[in-house]
A = this chain, B = another copy of it.
Amino acid sequence: MSDPLRLGIAGLGTVGAGVVKIVRQKSLLLEARTGRGIAISAVSARNREKDRGVPLTDYGWEDDPVTLATRDDVDVFVELVGGSDGPAKAAVEAALKAGKDVVTANKALLAHHGQALAELAEENGCVLRFEAAVAGGIPVIKALTEGLAANDITRVMGVMNGTCNYILTRMESGGLSYAEAFAEADGLGFLEADPELDVGGIDAGHKLSLLSAIAYGTQVSFDAVELEGIGRVSIDDIRQASDMGYKIKLLGVCRMTGRGLEQSMSPCLVPASSPLGQLEGGTNMVVIEGDQVGQIVMRGAGAGEGPTASAVMGDVVDIARGTRVTTFGAPASKLVKATPAKAATPAPYYLRMNLADKPGALAKVASALGEAGVSIHRMRQYDHVDNAAPVLIVTHKTTRAALDAALDAIPATGVVQGEPVALRIEQV
């Protein structure tokens, strides 16, 4: 029996407390599965006095996570502080420099500083693992980095923000407006302190950028993710999509093309009968497509104490067993800077706009599309209400560039009120 693996845990919110509980309650199970004990040396959080539902008196206490990260009695620094900079970053850097392995659930940190941290880990012979940062309890980082490592990855897709999926699902099931569903999610405590992290697609975009890096051996480039939130999706869009056999999801998609790496996190239409289309409520789903394996779908809870702590401890178990895999599945020094490619892959698009009650209005829109090279697959115009008529268009496959050219030309027609909604139809 080896010496126990000693953890220093920084951040004692829901997930941190969950990790402490697992270490306390499952010591025999963990020892049976790893061949060594797993112990907690010390912890750190902002408020020492707060009751977290789990006894902490057995462990050392550090007010400063950086001090915790470099303690001699810490083998693995578990970072659950959160935030892309500040104490989380300082502590992770300090841990790696001190030769400690790091396990983190911090998607923002890795989305912004993943490359530098992976290099730092490599220089110091440390592992930096982050299963809990993407899709909660679903072991998707492991599947992509390890299980599917013999594949050229052709596409990764994911519904990875449970709050957005909850809002979209409730809009459909309850006939709620976006504002109503947003308020409901807020009342249930589902939203981040800054809700834009959720509904703006930022949180999910962070996660996508990490999957891209692993899938394509590229340096994490969150800034290159095309982000679009769900705030402009209306109940009408959801109903129209449903009529056509689709669901609207905040969908992350990444793929390597001849023109570069596409990464987008945006509301998309997906077939209602597909696993992604059938995903309801706060559950997450990641779809990985490889040239050998075909399509692998993974589904599970994307947040919450148990699922996230399960993922953190999965990484800890790996380290206890001596598993040492590079941060993004290849040496950090070999990860290449990807050329970002704005949605280059042609796809059909769903468009909704409000047409003024003027003669020839529809023709003007149709010709603006045609002149940009966007051809129309289906079009429906509805009755005028308050001098405006909703028009729905499904295009044939087109590039985003052609579509944007058409959208840019539409204001000049003078017949469209407000800004059109344009959602990609992702073929899955």
Contact = CB atoms under 8 A, between A and B. Distances in A.
Interface of A: 18, 22, 26, 29-30, 32-35, 131, 137-139, 142-143, 146-152, 217, 275, 278, 290-301, 304, 306-307, 309-311, 313-314, 316-318, 321-326, 329-331, 334
Q: Which 10 A-B pairs have the closest CB atoms?
A: A139-B147, A150-B313, A137-B293, A292-B310, A292-B306, A293-B310, A297-B299, A296-B300, A149-B317, A147-B314
Nearest to A136: B293
A293 B318 contact: no
B330 A32 contact: yes
A198 to B, nearest CB: 20
B294 A137 contact: yes
B318 A306 contact: no
B297 A297 contact: yes
Nearest to A21: B292
Contacts of A35: 326, 331
A29 B290 CA distance: 13
Contacts of A29: 150, 152
B324 A150 contact: no
A301 B316 CA distance: 30
A118 to B, nearest CB: 14
B290 A310 contact: yes
A115 B325 CA distance: 28
Contacts of A151: 310
Contact of A309 (B26, B137, B150): B150
16 contacts: A33-B329, A137-B292, A137-B293, A137-B294, A137-B296, A138-B296, A148-B310, A149-B317, A275-B278, A290-B310, A291-B306, A293-B306, A296-B298, A322-B322, A322-B324, A323-B325
Contacts of A148: 139, 310, 314
Contact of A26 (B152, B318, B331): B152
Contacts of A298: 296-299
A67 to B, nearest CB: 27
Contact of A307 (B139, B293, B329): B293
A316 B149 CA distance: 10
A355 to B, nearest CB: 38
A37 to B, nearest CB: 14
